[in-house]
């Protein structure tokens, strides 16, 4: 109703409201991107787009949308969370991933470590995280998308060094979580715990979140460590059909997401430390995005649906870690 009032006020040049429901560490990226898209859209159509943002743990955000939060677009930490909008709420078709280029993944990131200045515990790789006396901060994978990537990255590393031995991987991850003193519900909460409460020796986090923390709190507070192997963490985007049909915002919602793939969109993403999918732009930013071995969810885990069921569903490997 509110939207209706706003749009009917100006007949020629409309003001369109979009709600983008996103995950935790994209606040700064989208506040920049929204400005760029606003001027792009204004130039193209004359209409004003006001984009509202909502951020939180990825699954929590998906649940809000399922429960009725009228998101025109969702930009979540993993495709699995958007899948649930389709499978549980029928808010969008199940083949949503094929509607935008690169399986609706406009940028990607990876999982890195943030340690205290000068790395007092000498943390170099995943194997250092399971040592006694090392305290590791990572959010709860049941509620945080980033935490699920963290978990799978650790699992992949363990598989890699044990030549694909699943039992050893489970032991490794169990040991790692024994070193976790706090399970926050989202990635941003974990960063706060690490930086502001000074809890833990190492924070496992998104590469872009690590750079943001560095920028925010200065290089005398912490430094980034790249492990020998990590995971290609792919956030996904989609418009929500049920909402855009009702509000009549399909066209602008689609344009909003397509613009992420444009040169400007990719540049803003790179500026905010999200790895662009444009190979040239990635090469141009090589010093900010070092090369490292990245496994993918499809290769290593056979896709999100499988990984979700095996590791994060009730009774999955994550639950078994905490079995007495």
Partner 1 sequence: MAKNKLRVLPGFGLSLGYTVFYLSLIVLIPLLAVFLKAATLSWHDFWHIVTDPRVVASYKITVGAALSAAAANAIFGLIVAWVLVRYSFPGRKIIDGLIDLPFALPTAVAGIALTAVYSKKGALSGVDHLWTTSLVYLESKFSFLHVISVIGRKITYDRPGIFIALIFIGLPFVVRTLQPIIRECEPELEEIAATLGASRLQTLRRVVLPELLPALITGFALAFARALGEYGSVIFIAGNKPMYSEITSLLIVTKLEQYDYQGATAIAAVMLVISFILLLIINLLQKWSQRYRKS
**Which CB atom, from 68 or from 279, has the smaller least distance to partner 1?**
68
Q: What minimum distance in Å lies between the beta carbon of 63 and partner 1?
A: 5
Buried b (16+ CB within 10 A) or exposed e, 295-320: bebeebbeebeebbeebbeeebbbee
CB 241 within 8 A of CB 91: yes
Q: What minimum distance in Å lies between the beta carbon of 119 and partner 1?
A: 19
Select the residue interacting with partner 1 from 182, 221, 294, 305 (CB under 8 A).
182
Q: What minimum distance in Å lies between the beta carbon of 258 and partner 1?
A: 29
Q: Which of 186, 179, 185, 188 is nearest to 137 (CA)?
A: 179
Position 168 contacts partner 1 (CB under 8 A): no
**Which CB atom, from 158 or from 190, has the smaller least distance to partner 1?**
190
Position 319 contacts partner 1 (CB under 8 A): yes
Q: For residue 89, what are the CA distances in angstroms to 85, 92, 104, 243?
A: 5, 8, 20, 12
Give CA–CA dist 104/299, Å, rounded.
18
Contact region with partner 1 (CB under 8 A), list: 18-26, 180-188, 250-258, 271-279: 180-188
Position 196 contacts partner 1 (CB under 8 A): yes
Pair of tokens at residue 110 = 């990876």
Select the residue interacting with partner 1 from 180, 229, 237, 274 (CB under 8 A).
180
Phi then psi dihedrals of residue 113, to 5 deg: -110, 145
Site for partner 1, residues 197 to 226, rule: CB under 8 A: 197-199
Site for partner 1, residues 30 to 89, rule: CB under 8 A: 57, 59-60, 63, 66, 84, 88
CA R_g for the chain = 20
Position 314 contacts partner 1 (CB under 8 A): yes
**Which CB atom, from 62 or from 268, has the smaller least distance to partner 1?**
62
Position 183 contacts partner 1 (CB under 8 A): yes
Q: Which of 207, 165, 216, 162 is nearest to 187 (CA)?
A: 207
Task: Give, for 207, the enclosing helix (H) or strand (E).
Answer: helix 207-217
Chain residues that interact with partner 1, rule: CB under 8 A: 57, 59-60, 63, 66, 84, 88, 140, 142-143, 180-185, 193, 196-199, 312-314, 319, 322-324
């Amino acid at each position: 109703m509110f939207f209706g009032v706003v749009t009917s006020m100006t007949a020629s040049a409309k003001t369109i409201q979009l709600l983008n429901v996103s995950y935790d560490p994209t606040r700064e990226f989208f506040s920049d991107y929204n400005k760029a898209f606003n001027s792009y859209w204004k130039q193209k159509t004359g209409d004003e787009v006001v984009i509202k943002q909502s951020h939180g743990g990825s699954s929590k955000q998906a649940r809000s949308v399922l429960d009725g939060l009228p998101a025109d677009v969702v930009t979540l930490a993993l495709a699995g969370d958007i899948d649930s909008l389709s499978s549980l709420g029928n808010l969008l078709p199940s083949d949503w991933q094929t509607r935008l280029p690169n399986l609706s993944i406009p940028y990607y990131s990876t999982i890195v470590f943030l340690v205290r200045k000068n790395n007092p515990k000498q943390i170099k790789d995943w194997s250092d995280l399971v040592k006694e006396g090392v305290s590791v901060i990572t959010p709860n994978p049941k509620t945080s998308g980033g935490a699920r990537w963290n978990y799978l990255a650790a699992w992949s590393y363990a598989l890699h060094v044990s030549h694909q031995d699943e039992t050893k991987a489970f032991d490794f991850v169990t040991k790692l979580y024994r070193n976790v003193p706090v399970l926050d519900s989202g990635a941003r909460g974990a960063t706060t715990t690490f930086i502001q409460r000074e809890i833990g020796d190492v924070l496992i986090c998104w590469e872009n979140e690590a750079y943001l923390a560095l920028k925010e709190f200065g290089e005398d507070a912490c430094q980034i460590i790249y492990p020998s192997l990590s995971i290609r963490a792919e956030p996904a985007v989609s418009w929500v059909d049920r909402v855009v049909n009702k509000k009549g915002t399909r066209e602008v919602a689609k344009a909003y997401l397509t613009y992420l793939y444009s040169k400007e969109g990719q540049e803003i993403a790179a500026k905010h430390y999200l790895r662009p999918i444009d190979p040239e732009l990635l090469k141009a930013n090589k010093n900010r995005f070092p090369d490292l071995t990245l496994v993918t969810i499809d290769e290593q885990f056979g896709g999100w649906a499988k990984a979700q069921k095996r590791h994060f569903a009730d009774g999955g490997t994550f639950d078994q870690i905490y079995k007495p």
